[in-house]
Amino acid sequence: MRQFYEMYSGNEKLAPLVREISWTHNLIIMSRAKNDEAREFYLLLCNRNNYSKRELERQIDSMLFERTMISDERNKLFISKNTGLTALRDSYVLEFLDIPETHKEKELRKSIVANIRDFILEFGKDFTFVGDEYRVQVGNKDFH
């Protein structure tokens, strides 16, 4: 409790945020975030997305804050030239796919579909996976 008080008492920015999430989430952020900027990031993220304890730990373990900061620096020039792309720039954690860092879009798609297939089939005999591409007709156009 003392450490909690010392960490947040003088910080006008973080003090209101810690009231919005559970004690468990606060303990995780307090013990594992390296600085006030990272704490603010995870507090806001946790509050906005209503993360479970396990999801918050996974985000911290995958170094989401650090990756976001690196990504923001790397993409500032690109996004400044194409302002319409900012709405499409989300960060996703895909380390479970086990694909190389440099990969083609086709490899990414195949890996995602394989994981979705395995996930659905894990539910048992009442579920089925039709295929990775299924023809759907809308009007006079076919989509896959």
pLDDT band of residue 41 (cuts 50, 70, 90) is confident
Task: Please report the pLDDT score of residue 65 as a whole number.
Answer: 85
Pick 65 or 83 by higher pLDDT.
65
pLDDT tens, position by position, 69-98: 776 665 565 555 555 555 555 566 777 788
Q: Token pair of 129, please? A: 């996976």
Given this model, what pLDDT does residue 103 score? Answer: 84
Pick the closest to residue 62 from 100, 32, 23 (CA basis): 32
For residue range 92-137, list pLDDT tens digits in order: 677 778 888 788 888 888 888 888 888 888 887 777 777 777 788 8
Q: What is the DSSP string of 74-135?
A: HHHHHHHH-GGGGGG------GGG---SS--HHHHHHHHHHHHHHHHHTT-TT-----S---
